[in-house]
A and B are shown apart, each in its own frame.
Chain A
């Protein structure tokens, strides 16, 4: 089991460019999440999905879009990157069981110039 994987690991973008971050999990989890981590602010939820074909907004959704066309993949898109989106992005997944915790990927470090 690879668990939760994220690609790419690191990326530099120029303001206005677009990109897609890929999250994949091989644990057959129903729920998936995208977070961003900024210094002094912990992890903040961007978007989440409770099943294939469904997505919902989290705490800080502006400037991001997501899609979950397959159960094992959760994509995070930046249509027009801004310097404020410089951050470390984490994906997580969990089974649909209230007793379960979230399992995190290794993160993607994004720098927007």
Chain B
């Protein structure tokens, strides 16, 4: 049973508009949530994170929102740019040793 779910396999957005990527989780013991970005033939790279005691974290064009009661987090990209086209993975930290559980990913395409 997947503990971290990204239910949208793909998302298409026009350049300049907002991209919203969603993630749901089932384990209320997760203490940290992260978003990674992955380009083809490369490894994932860290984008932004949020602690379970926060409800929002912002870094430039990227904002992550956490709704603990709904066990839901979202990544907002404003404004979206063509270079943002990639696969985005949501991840949650489980227990010790910084172990992560990943969602299946959402492929974002930003078109002019």
Contacts and interface: CB of A to CB of B under 8 A. Distances in A.
Same assembly: yes
Interface of A: 4, 31, 33, 35, 40-45, 48, 50, 56, 58-59, 90, 92, 94, 96, 98, 100-107
18 contacts: A4-B43, A40-B9, A42-B4, A42-B102, A42-B104, A43-B102, A48-B97, A56-B97, A98-B32, A101-B49, A102-B46, A102-B100, A103-B46, A104-B36, A104-B43, A104-B45, A107-B41, A107-B43
A90 B97 contact: no
**Which 8 A-B pairs rank lowest in CB-CB distance, beginning with the nearest?**
A104-B43, A42-B102, A101-B46, A43-B102, A42-B104, A104-B44, A94-B98, A106-B43
A96 B97 CA distance: 7
Contacts of B4: 42
Interface of B: 4, 6, 9, 32, 34, 36, 41-46, 49, 89, 97-105
Contacts of B42: 106-107
A36 B43 CA distance: 11
A52 B10 CA distance: 40
Contacts, number: 56
A59 B94 CA distance: 12
Nearest to A9: B41
In the complex, which of the residues A33, A101, A105 has the most CB atoms of chain B within 10 Å of its own CB atom? A101
